[in-house]
Amino acid sequence: MSRSVSASCRRDGPRHVLHTAGFTLVEVLVVLAIISLLMGLVGPRVLAYLSDSRVKAASLQIKGLTGALDLYYLDLGRYPNSAEGLQALIERPAAAGRWNGPYLKANVLPADPWGRAYIYRSPGKHGAFDIVSLGPTGQDGDVGNVTSWQP
C-alpha cells in the first residue's frame, strides 16, 4: 500500500524525514522590518490626531460648561463663586434662592479628556469666570492648557 505525499511535504533519504513548507527566518525578518517602517511613519500621525482630538473635546466641554454657567447667571443674577465651583451647576448652593437646575444634562460634572477635573475661578482673571483644563501635562500655566478665554 503506497502513501501519497502532499505538494508541501516530501520525504528525503532513507530516514524519511518529513519537511513542511513554511517561512524562512529571512522572510519573517523582512516582514517585521516593513511593519516597523510603516509604524514609524504612521504612528506619529495617529498620535498627533489623538492629541488634537483631546484638545478639541476639552474646548467643546468648556463651551458647554460656559453655556450652563450663563443659564445659572440668568436665574440667579450671578455666577457661582470659586468656593461653590462648578458643583453649583448640578447641586443647589446654600445661597442660591432662585436656583433652577441642574444645568447639566448628565447631572454629573465632566472630567477633561485627560481624566482631571476642570479648574473654575470666579471672579476670573480673564472675565467673569475662568475655566481651565490642565491639558496633557497637568501643569497650570502650561502651553498645553485649554481655557475658556482662548479660542
The tens digit of pLDDT for each residue in 92-103 reads 888 777 888 788
Do 93 and 106 meet the contact criterion of CB atoms below 8 Å apart?
no
Query: Considering Cα of 109, then 112, then 114, then 117, what sign does the dihedral take?
Result: negative
- DSSP helix/strand/coil, 76: helix
Class of domain 9-147: alpha beta
Query: Considering Cα of 119, then 124, then 130, then 133, what sign does the dihedral take?
Result: negative
> How many angstroms separate the CA atoms of 125 and 123, rounded?
7
pLDDT digits 0-9 by tens, 34-82: 888 888 888 777 776 666 788 889 999 999 999 999 999 998 889 998 9
Do 135 and 144 meet the contact criterion of CB atoms below 8 Å apart?
yes
